[in-house]
Amino acid sequence: MFTRTHYKLERHTIGFAVAIIVVSAIGGLFEIAPLFTIDETVETAPDMRLYTPLELAGRNIYIREGCYACHSQMIRTLRDEVERYGPYSLAVESKYDHPMLWGSKRTGPDLARIGGKYSDAWQVAHLYNPRDVVPQSVMPAYRWLARNKLRTEDLGRHLIAQRRVGVPYTDDMIAHAEQDAKAQVDPDSDNAEGVSERYGEATHVRAFDGNPRDVTEMDALVAYLQILGRLTDAAYQNKDKGE
C-alpha cells in the first residue's frame, strides 16, 4: 500500500521536494521553537552584568584564534566536573553570548569558571608561552597578542550590533565604548571611574598585561578570561553537586 503511494509520489519533482522540506522541518520546530517561548529555559539573574568593550574585544580574539576548538565553557551536571571546575553552568550565564562558546572538545580544560583562578601575570605568561608555566602543555604560544595593539575605534559599532541582537547596551555605553576600553587598563586615568559607573563596581580596572599606556590584544584577552564565570553569582548560589 505505502509503496504504491510512494510509487506515485516519486513521479512529481515539486511534490517530492515539498515532502522533504515538511518531513525534515518537524524536528527543529519541536525542539528549537519552544526554547524561545518557555520561560524556565533560562533562569533569571538580576545581578547579570554585560561585557565591557574591552572584554567583548577579548572575547572576539578568543573566537578569532579558535580557542573554542580545544576549550569548552560548559560545566556539565556531573559530580566530577563540579569538583574539578566549579558549579555547573547555567543557561543564564551565556544569555548575552552571541554566539555561545560552549565548545565540544576538551583538549585543554574547561574555562567556564577560569576567571579569578590565576593572576593576570600568570595568564600573560601562559599565553606568551604555555610551556613556561605548564611544561607538559600542548597549547600554542600566542606571543603576537602582546605585540598587537587592540583595534578600539570600532568598538562603538560592535556595541550597536550587540544591541541589535538583544544585548541591553545603553547609549551612554555605546558613546563611551572606545574611551572605556582604554580606561579599563589604566586605573589611574581620569576615565577609569566611568568604566565602573557604567559596568558595575565589580568590573576589573587594571593593567592586565602590566602596561597601562597601550591597550594590547593581550590586555583584552586576559580581561575576558578573568571575567569568565563572574558575570553573575547565580551558579554559586546553586548548591546542587551534580550526578
Partner 1 sequence: MISGLTLGERQTAVCLSLALLVLGVIFAGAGQGDPLGVHGFIIAAYAVVVMGAVITGYYAPAPGADRLTQYYDDPTKFGIIVAMLWAIFGMFVGDWVAWLLAYPDMTFDAAWASFGRLRPVHTTGVIFGFGGNALIATSYHVVQRTSRARLPDQLSPWVVLIGYNLFCLLAVSGYLIGITQSKEYAEPEWYADILLVIVWVTYFLLYIRTLARRQEPHIYVANWYYMAFILVVAVLHIVNNLAVPVSLTEAKSYSLFAGVQDAMTQWWYGHNAVAFFLTAGFLGMMYYYLPKRAGRPIYSYRMSIVGFWGITFFYMWAGSHHLHYTALPLWVQNLGMTFSVMLLVPSWIAAGNALMTLNGAWTRVRDDATLRFMAMAAVFYGLSTFEGSFMAIRPVNSLSHYTDWTIGHVHAGTLGWVSMIVFGTFYSLVPWMWKVERMYSRKLVEWHFWLAMAGTLIYVFAMWNSGIIQGLMWRTYNDGGTLAYSFVDSLVAMHPYYIARAVGGFLFFLGPVIGLYNILMTIRLSRETAGTGIAEMPVVALKAGE
Of 72-111, binders to partner 1 (CB under 8 A) are 72, 74, 76-78, 80-81, 83-84, 88-110
Q: Which three cell numbers stand for residue 66?
A: 579558535
Q: Rule CB under 8 A: is residue 144 a binding residue for partner 1?
A: yes
- Would you say 89 or 216 has its CB closer to partner 1? 89
Give the nearest distance from C-beta 103 to partner 1 in angstroms.
8
Distance CA 97, CA 60 (A): 11
Three cell numbers, residue 141: 604560544
CA 119 to mean position of chain CA atoms: 20
- DSSP character string of 63-85: HHTTGGGT------S-HHHHHHH
Query: Applying CB under 8 A, which part among 140-148, 180-188, 206-214, 218-226 lies near partner 1?
Result: 140-148
Residues between 160 and 199 with contacts to partner 1, criterion CB under 8 A: 160-162, 164-167
Q: Residues 45, 52, 123, 142: which binds partner 1 (CB under 8 A)?
A: 142
Beta carbons of 199 and 49 less than 8 angstroms apart: yes
Rounded distance between C-alpha atoms, residue 49 and residue 199, angstroms? 7
How far is the CA of 166 from the CAs of 101, 160, 163, 198, in angstroms?
Answer: 17, 10, 5, 18
Report the nearest approach of partner 1 to the CB of residue 188 (Å): 31
Name which position in 48, 49, 60, 191 contacts partner 1 (CB under 8 A): 60
**Rg from Cα positions in the chain:** 22
Using alpha carbons, list the distances in angstroms from residue 199 to 46, 175, 190, 192, 217. Answer: 14, 14, 16, 11, 21
CA 167 to mean position of chain CA atoms: 13
Between 100 and 207, name the residue whose CB sits nearer to partner 1: 100
Select from 119, 122, 138, 210 the one that contacts partner 1 (CB under 8 A): 138
What are the grid coordinates assigned to 79, written together? 559530580
Which residue among 48, 70, 146, 207 contacts partner 1 (CB under 8 A)? 70
Residue 223 CB, nearest approach to partner 1 (Å): 18
Which residue of 1, 27, 190, 201 would you call a contact of partner 1, by CB under 8 A? 27
Nearer of residues 40 and 201 to partner 1, judged by Cβ: 40
Q: Which is nearer to partner 1, 66 or 193 (CB)?
A: 66
**132 part of the interface to partner 1, by CB under 8 A:** no
Tell me which of 47, 64, 149, 172 binds partner 1, using CB under 8 A: 64
Grid look-up 553573575 returns 232
**Is residue 207 involved in binding partner 1 (CB under 8 A)?**
no
**Calpha distance 139→123 (Å, rounded):** 13
